[in-house]
Amino acid sequence: MIELQHLHKSFEDKNVLKDISTTFENGKTNLIIGQSGSGKTVLIKCTVGLFAPTKGDIIYDGRSFINMKKKERALLRREMGMIFQSAALFDSMPVLENVMFPLDMFSDENYARRKKRAEYCLDRVKLLDSKAKYPEEISGGMQKRVAIARAIAMNPKYLFCDEPNSGLDPKTSLVIDELIHSITQESGMTTIINTHDMNSVMGIGEHILYIYKGHKEWEGTKDEIINSDNERLNSFVFASDLFRKVRNEMTESNK
User: CA dist 159 to 68, 131, 151, 223, Å?
Assistant: 20, 23, 7, 23
pLDDT exceeds cutoff 70 at 254: no
The C-alpha atoms of residue 199 and residue 75 are separated, in whole angstroms, by 35
Residue 59 domain-assigned (yes or no) = yes
Determine, yes or no, domain membership for 209: yes
Is residue 158 in a domain? no
Q: Would you say residue 229 lies in a domain?
A: yes
If one counts the domains in the chain, the total is 1
Q: What is the mean pLDDT of residues 145-173?
A: 90
Per-residue pLDDT at 110 = 95
Domain assignment present for residue 16? The answer is yes
Predicted confidence at residue 242, as pLDDT, reads: 57
DSSP calls for 57-77: EEEETTEESTT--HHHHHHHH
Residue 23 inside a domain? The answer is yes
Report whether 198 contacts 242 (CB < 8 A): no
Q: What SS3 state is found at 188?
A: coil
Q: What percentage of the chain exceeds 70 in pLDDT?
A: 93
How many C-beta atoms surround the C-beta of residue 207 within 10 A?
19
Give tens-digit pLDDT for 21-78: 999 999 999 999 998 889 998 999 999 989 999 999 999 999 999 999 999 998 998 8
pLDDT digits (tens, 9 = 90+) for 170-223: 888 898 899 999 999 988 999 999 998 888 888 899 999 999 999 999 999 988
CATH code where residue 47 lies: 3.40.50.300
Q: How confident is the model at residue 119 (pLDDT cuts 50, 70, 90)?
A: very high
Angle (CA) 161 235 35, round 5°: 35
pLDDT digits (tens, 9 = 90+) for 81-98: 988 877 789 999 999 999
Give the residue-averaged pLDDT of 106-124: 94
Residue 2 lies in a domain: yes
Q: Report the 10 Å Cβ neighbour count for 37.
A: 11
- Residue 252 lies in domain: 1-79+191-255
**Residue 95 maps to a domain:** no
pLDDT for residue 251 is more than 60: no
Provide the pLDDT for residue 202.
Answer: 86
Enclosing H/E stretch for 8: strand 2-11
